[in-house]
Chain A
């Protein structure tokens, strides 16, 4: 189920000959998540699409300059930093000039990405990825299953008490919560360049 190479090769392909197709695949995978990310970082809903565009443009413009430094999650660090910087730039401009935002001159922004990635930005990126993945798959499950997962895993209640509370069997709780977990993991891995558990950059 987990295919870390897939995401990774997608990024490598962005620099290759079949750029157009790779770019489409890339956008298809990342755009929905980037939308989530930038709105959660504080970009108002109505500007989210514009800001996501700017992030994508910045990535398109600079993917040639990105190189895998061999450490795990280097692409994730880069994405996180690009997105964060563009959101910050957006906010600054909004503050200075409320209502006057527009245009595409954020392309050069990437050059301002600091060499050392901001750890907080990466953590936030990963956090948002999990939240986004959970929201994405939430609708796939009936409410009882979701509640079984939430109450036992997140709220730490015992399986027995939740079974009684929801009037379902313990067996169905085990099944539901593992299913939900597997789906979240899969969703995350679709976007993440490396699986969560192999996080290696300390």
Chain B
């Protein structure tokens, strides 16, 4: 047992501090240090210079002697209490223990009768909602006497170190945005097992909920909500923060108050990264995404403007501008296809508003408006115009956008004539389908070998909807034309769905190329 290495070895001492010695080396060094005062000194010096030793010593001494005033109720856990009872006694610092798992495990037992559990200082009362990126809980902070909404990151995202990092970073950035149209973040806990953030609890519904309930909204509401969202975006953009997930579900409408709040900054970013760029899969609906996001290119501030345009489109029409059966189908539309003219779906929307939204939905980011601030200012003046047209002119920039819609179309007069027109639709459908068949769009899907002849070529042969009525030779009766146009629109919508179903295979094949 007694190897007798009398020699001193500095490297061994260094390794000892780094705790990389083998058991044998450790035994040897321990024995060597017993007697070698030189090595004792060298080891101490390697650990820290003399001043470091003395400063740590004096800090710890003053700590135990009580000369440093401690915060309320704090007891240092450093002092070995009972040296005899040391083994097995746990002295792990309680303060930095991570909150337990979420979902079920995360919550500690409730202390209040009307609470389902506790999260640090928050009594959780109910689950407000949940989605792909996390769950939202309603809670109450007793000491602060306030209701809060607690947003907890989904476990699958929390497992990704990158998602957690971004969550922390973005949440901190969000906390720095103070604006009436941005939901404030009170607290961020990014170190816990499942990161969560605390926001004020506001009695509100999401724009998504309202759209689900009411369909399209009155023009004034479209402008009002669009305006406030643009203001919130401008505040975020001023901090250099791109929201990247502007959609109706992330826009909150406060009840009984004319206030709109943009929410979900940090999680949106985290989710985007873990899902889209991380694995090549897309979670959730990319319906409001900008083309550059859909392509996986880098986003810019104007990407949010595109999404704002999509949201305003949805408010006007009750549906998002780009729809398909699959996420990839939607992405493809976002990237390649023009949206259907708003006027086809809601004739009450004025030309200038349609032009305005079209401008936001420009495929090239440079073709959109310059910044959220400009958009907000223009919308503000549009609101004034709609409320009092005689006193407030439309902004010239907006006026100039009127009449740019691709299909001019009289107001929707004749919904009642549908029945009269319907028999014709069957005929038209045959014509349209025939045209599609001839163009070869359907072929890839029915190709028994499953191949895609011609690569990208067949995909965009059919422009949905609006082009067809213009080519109708008979315009002798405007009423007629209008009714046909309407029916063709809905027919085209059905075709959209049909094509998407058929194109699923094509999309799958295209994934690798895109």
Contacts and interface: CB of A to CB of B under 8 A. Distances in A.
Interface of A: 19-21, 23-24, 27-28, 31-32, 35-36, 39-47, 49-50, 53, 56-57, 60-61, 99-102, 104, 107, 124, 126-127, 130-131, 134-136, 138-139, 142-144, 146-147, 150-151, 153-154, 165-166, 169-172, 174-175, 178-179, 181-182, 184-185, 195-197, 199
A139 B91 contact: yes
Nearest to B80: A147
B56 A32 contact: no
Contact of A143 (B76, B80, B141, B187): B80
A144 B87 contact: yes
Contacts of B63: 127, 131
Interface in B3-50: 16-17, 19, 26, 29-34, 40, 43-44, 46-49
Given A49-B189, A104-B184, A181-B53, A150 B78 contact: yes
B370 interface: no
Given A169-B31, A178-B43, 20 more contacts: A24-B165, A24-B168, A24-B169, A35-B95, A35-B96, A42-B72, A46-B120, A46-B143, A49-B120, A99-B144, A107-B176, A127-B68, A130-B56, A136-B96, A139-B93, A147-B86, A153-B53, A154-B61, A166-B83, A174-B43
6 contacts: A42-B72, A99-B143, A99-B145, A138-B78, A174-B44, A179-B19
B71 interface: yes
Contacts of B16: 175, 178-179
Interface string B115-131: 00000110000000000
B513 interface: no
B52 A185 contact: yes
For chain B, the bracket of interface size reads 35 or more
B51 A127 contact: no
The 10 closest A-B pairs by CB, nearest first: A143-B86, A171-B30, A46-B121, A171-B33, A178-B47, A130-B59, A24-B169, A182-B47, A171-B34, A181-B47
A23 B30 contact: no
A147 to B, nearest CB: 5
A98 B17 CA distance: 49
Contacts of B240: 19-20
B187 A150 contact: no
Contacts of A135: 76-78, 93, 95
Interface of B: 16-17, 19, 26, 29-34, 40, 43-44, 46-49, 51-53, 55-57, 59-64, 68, 70-74, 76-80, 83, 86-87, 89, 91-93, 95-96, 120-121, 141, 143-146, 165, 168-169, 172-173, 175-176, 178, 184, 186-191, 240
Contacts of A24: 165, 168-169, 172
Give the residue among B43, B48, B178, B184 with the most A Cβ atoms within 10 A: B48
B9 to A, nearest CB: 14
Given A175-B16, A175-B29, A143 B60 contact: no
A175 B56 contact: no
A175 B30 contact: yes
A154 B43 contact: no
Contacts of B49: 197
B202 to A, nearest CB: 14
Nearest to B169: A24
Contacts of B19: 179
Contact of A174 (B33, B57, B143, B175): B33
B63 to A, nearest CB: 6
Contacts of A49: 120, 187-189
A47 B186 CA distance: 11
A20 B167 CA distance: 12
A150 B80 contact: yes
A45 to B, nearest CB: 8
